[in-house]
Amino acid sequence: MPATPPNADRHGADPRGAEPVSTKAPDLAGPAVISQFWGDLAFLHWRVDPALVEPHLPHGVRPDVFDGSSWVGLIPFELSRSAFGPLPPVPYFGRFAETNVRLYGVGPDGRRSVVFRTLEAAKLVPVLTARLGLGLPYTWADMSIVRGGGTITYDSRRRWPRATTGKPLPRTHVKIRPGSETVTGDPLADFLTARWGMHVGRAGRTRFWPNNHPAWELRSAELLELDDELLAATGFEGLASRQPDSVLYSRGVTTRFAAPTA
């Protein structure tokens, strides 16, 4: 395990001004421009050296750390009830399976965030809209979520964009068994999930998209199967060959995003 860097204590407190980790979301400063329901989420996380994360963060964002490590997350789930502003949820295109690989950063103003390396999604129109309109690294994939027998299985294989290297397009397979134990008061779980915005880099500029949702209702989970290529495809070769350091599950939350700020 890497030694704790001088800028952080073992629970992620940062004397350079990072905001405290809180399970209560701050109020949005403006009206919600996007709302979504995120359901049946599996949170798989691995600890890594912050030096491995730093090259993948947008300009001005530094790695966030807990217990001396940065963390890489693989999170499959179902997105639904997607709506824009005051409009009703989008039919058909507003519901799809998604799997993302994400990192954790701190902006110049101390705001903690999620930084996405990829967002694999099963509907092409939302993928194109998010890539072009928001600058997010969405990709189109064949995906499925199968529930039964107390387990949830997530499968994904990327379809687009095509690889330029000739390598096969990455896929992922995750199977978990959600537990009955509720996870509360866990500093690591809070650090990984209580994130109230995302930093997005585009054309050399970094913007922060604030979001708001109820506190996560987290449960322990057992990882039954993992066969993943997304972590390697996003710069973290070999990570999926070892067991995650944290496995959690949530039935889901309704989240809202406000317009981005500088």
Measured distance CA(128)–CA(33) in Å, rounded: 18
Strands 70-84 and 96-106: antiparallel
The CATH number of 32-258 is which of 3.40.50.150, 2.40.100.10, 2.40.400.10, 1.10.10.10? 2.40.400.10
CB 60 within 8 A of CB 68: no
| Tokens describing residue 152 | 């949830």
* Domain-wise residue ranges, the chain: 32-258
pLDDT in tens, the chain (262 residues): 333 333 343 444 444 579 999 999 999 999 999 999 999 999 999 999 999 999 999 999 999 999 999 999 999 999 999 999 999 999 999 999 999 999 999 999 999 999 999 999 999 999 999 999 999 999 999 999 999 999 999 999 999 998 777 789 999 999 999 999 999 999 999 999 999 999 999 999 999 999 999 999 999 999 999 999 999 999 999 999 999 999 999 999 999 999 998 7
CB 169 within 8 A of CB 157: yes
CB atoms within 10 A of CB 14: 18
Measured distance CA(48)–CA(50) in Å, rounded: 6
Measured distance CA(154)–CA(28) in Å, rounded: 32
Overall pTM surpassing 0.85 (yes/no): yes
